[in-house]
Amino acid sequence: MKLALIQMNSQPDRVYNLAQAERLMGNACSVERPDLIILPEHFDWTGGTPQDKRNAADVVPGGEAYEMVRAFARDHRVAVHAGSLLERVAGDARIFNTTVIFDSTGTEIGTYRKIHLFDITAPDGKRYLESATVAAGQELLIYEIGGFRVACAICYDLRFSRLFDRLASFGVDLFVLPAAFTRQTGKDHWEVLCRARAIEFQAFFAACGQCGTYLAPGNERRAMFGHSLVVDPWGQVIAGTGDKEGVLIAELDKSRVEAVRGMIPMSEHRVDLATFRINEARLGGPGLAAE
């Protein structure tokens, strides 16, 4: 299966962002004829104030970003993993950070709403508070294309291995992670975590990022990391790019998944530890048993 990862530099400007996404997807199709196109997190809108994001959120199905990607998939006969867009929900003050998957006829085959919300303090003291605007999803999504079982996650989800453990238990061959990692966290954690998830669960890992800077509240420019990459089930980076917008192509061979799992049969060795007793020992004192 051939993937095309679309690395973008989205702004608080939907018209600009959708034109950029459509142009880059068109470039991918004119040169490589991919089986699956992957867009980054927030491909339709990045930055602005919390109220700007609420105002920019659109309906699923039927919104402007949704319809652009649906039409592209249909017209170019290509499946699209539409990174994430801002989804408005009737009667809810908050919005969702939502992935939508379209098959090569433009038919929606599933949605995933981001579960883990990015509420952190960066090394330079900047605060990120996604939960002020976004509500957490409650469901997981796995879909099939080209003989691959594909699992969905978004950006900050990457840090939570239990999510990937749960998805992997359903026989996943490829994880897809649209993201907008900050430059500060990305330089130290991005590749390490992507490779770790591929190695832990013996599956391909495709991570598609935002790059460049965007305008945040107070006219502050915030930098994103870029460096989209594809990792094989052995943990090797088989395709990667830098910090500029563009298209990254990778070809996946399902037999690689089978070969790695055959060499190290982790699924056969995995032990359910949920009922194990935990013994806590204190130096110089008796052990304490925790049920």
Residue 155 appears among annotated catalytic residues: yes
Position 279 in a domain: no
In the set 29, 41, 194, 208, the catalytic residue is: 41
In the set 29, 87, 114, 211, the catalytic residue is: 114
Residue 208 appears among annotated catalytic residues: no
Residue 115, domain CATH: 3.60.110.10
Position 45 in a domain: yes
Per the confidence metrics, is the pTM higher than 0.85?
yes
Residue 114 appears among annotated catalytic residues: yes
Position 131 in a domain: yes
Total structural domains in the chain? 1
Tell me: the pLDDT tens digits for 226-243? Answer: 999 999 999 999 999 999
pLDDT-based confidence at residue 91 (cuts at 50, 70, 90): confident
Position 272 in a domain: no
Q: What is the DSSP string of 193-224?
A: HHHHHHHHHTSEEEEEEBEEEEEEGGGEEEEE
Tell me: the pLDDT tens digits for 18-48? Answer: 999 999 999 999 999 999 999 999 999 999 9
Position 260 in a domain: yes
161 backbone dihedrals φ, ψ, rounded to 5°: -65, -25
In the set 29, 152, 155, 208, the catalytic residue is: 155
Task: Write down the H helix ranges in the chain.
Answer: 14-31, 50-56, 64-76, 161-168, 183-201, 254-263, 266-269
Position 179 in a domain: yes
Percent of the chain having pLDDT more than 90?
88
Position 247 in a domain: yes
Distance CA(170)–CA(253), nearest Å, equals: 19
For 284, counting Cβ atoms within 10 Å of its Cβ (0-12 exposed, 13-18 middle, 19+ buried), the class is exposed
289 backbone dihedrals φ, ψ, rounded to 5°: -90, 130
Tell me: the pLDDT tens digits for 44-88? Answer: 999 999 999 999 999 999 999 999 999 999 999 999 999 999 999
